[in-house]
Amino acid sequence: MKIAIRTIDLASLTGEERADLIKRSAVPDTDMRAAAAQIVARVRQGGDEALLAANKLYGGGRKSGALRVQLDELDAALTGLNDPTRQALEAAAANIRRAHEPQKPVDGMVETVPGVRIDRRWTPLRRIGVYVPGGRAAYPSSLLMGVIPAQVAGVPQIAVTSPADEEGRVSQTMLAAARLLDIDEVYVAGGAQAVAALAYGTETVERVDKIVGPGNAWVTAAKLAVYGDVGVDLPAGPSEALVLADASADPEIIAADLMCQAEHGPESPVALVTPDADLAGAVVGHIAELLPELDRAETIRRALVDHGLIILSRSIPDAIAFANEYAPEHLTLHTSDADRDALAATSAGSVFVGHWAPESAGDYATGANHVLPTGGLAAAYGPLSVEDCGSWRQVQTLDEAGLAALRPTIAALAEAEGLTAHRLAADIRFDREQR
């Protein structure tokens, strides 16, 4: 199978062309955001009835129309799970928990001056909603990635929502994964309507404090619509990957790594950055050879043709500089000194180092979280973590001596800003003592 992937010489680009190449967004367009906001508004106002209507109109609901999955169905899904899949889910869950336990925040205290203490206290959220993609494919791994950080954080209530497929069937593996984690609150709803139900509540769904988990553009648009009324994690665009390689790399393995990411969907951007044109040509050849054997060959082909890139750099440092500007969701390093290059790669959601580190290992098994920033947001944000499932409080305790020490500073700054009641609030405490 012949396949044409767009090739770009990095050195030939103008500054504007380079910026255009890097530019992409995790945020859906204004039309989709407006449409999602309308769905959200209807569910907010209409509750279960509007949620069920949206499931029927846009897909994601069960044939029966039932919103909540009953406990006996969750138990049956776990009981009916074949041994290899159960063992895989258990192994993945154990690694995810092991990787996230060290993330649990530790309270801290500082005394800025004698008698002035500031405590920093972390508290888990009361209730979190985890959105798990579904419909055309099932993602029990995403359920694990969303639920386990919340459990490690100590969140007492976790609600999961995921859409049914086109036939109205719910993934039994996803239900089994939920029960494996002792989750008993699972709802069947998809897209913007599911986000709305979690954000505002319905007769059946209790509102949550925060919504986490990956989803399609409708989910992202809905998260943006509800943000401010409820906490959300990052907006997420199509899953993406950048592979950085030099002449030491195996082109067949690179081909597999690129197709692994392109398999996520036809909108997934995938790119190879290398100073070696011969390597790039060999990679394309291996893609053409391996692609026909894969189940999602057409999805992969479309992603590579429409959104794939081969970028020829002058050197590996040049390639790393580009990668840091691009800030990919996934960055895979196939270089002669991948450990060194990983230290220089400062803007990526998750970095995979070396010959033995496929992106699929991170998706399923290493324990690292696969809910990651996309669309360049990796320049400023990181993976979903335990800290995302709670919030910090700062508690300030002052005694008389402490306030006395701060009194001149308070008075001077209050006068400078013209906020004399601020000065009074400090002074009056001492004035009362002198009366």
pLDDT category of residue 236 using cuts at 50, 70 and 90: confident
DSSP secondary structure, 109-162, as one string: EEEEETTEEEEEEEEE-SEEEEE---SSS--HHHHHHHHHHHHHHT-SEEEEEE
**Final residue belonging to a domain, choices 345, 367, 389:** 367
What would the pLDDT profile of 94-149 be if each residue is shown by its tens digit? 999 999 999 999 999 999 999 999 999 999 999 999 999 987 778 999 999 999 99
Same domain assignment for residues 178 and 223: yes
pLDDT digits (tens, 9 = 90+) for 246-256: 999 999 999 99
| CATH code: domain of residue 352 | 3.40.50.1980
Q: What does pTM read for this prediction?
A: 0.93
- Residue 353 belongs to domain spanning: 6-26+238-367
Q: Residue 8 pLDDT more than 90? A: yes
Considering the domain architecture, whether residues 140 and 61 belong to the same structural domain is answered as yes
Distance from C-alpha of 223 to C-alpha of 355, rounded to nearest angstrom: 37
Mean pLDDT of 274-294: 96
Among 286, 307, 330, 334, the active-site one is 330
CA distance 348 to 327: 5
- The answer as to whether 250 is a domain residue is yes
Question: In angstroms, what CA-CA distances link 232 with 212, 284, 373?
Answer: 6, 39, 13
Residue 329 is among the residues annotated as catalytic for this protein? yes
- Going across the sheet that includes 330-334, the strands are 6-9, 308-312, 270-274, 241-245, 330-334, 350-353
The answer to whether residues 247 and 228 belong to one domain is: no
Are 36 and 143 in a shared domain? yes
For residue 433, what pLDDT is reported? 59
Q: Is 48 helix (H, G, I), strand (E, B) or coil?
A: helix
Instruction: Summarize the confidence of residues 176-202 as an average pLDDT.
Output: 97
pLDDT at 296 over 90: yes
Q: Give 426's pLDDT tier (boundaries 50, 70, 90).
A: very high
- In the chain, the number of structural domains is 3
User: Does 292 share its domain with 363?
Assistant: yes
Domain assignment of residue 389, yes or no: no
pLDDT band at 435 (very low <50, low <70, confident <90, very high): low
Whether 264 is catalytic is no
Query: Mean per-residue pLDDT for 275-291?
Result: 96
Q: What angle do CA 190, 191, 193 make, to 5 degrees?
A: 85
Catalytic residue among 307, 329, 334, 359: 329
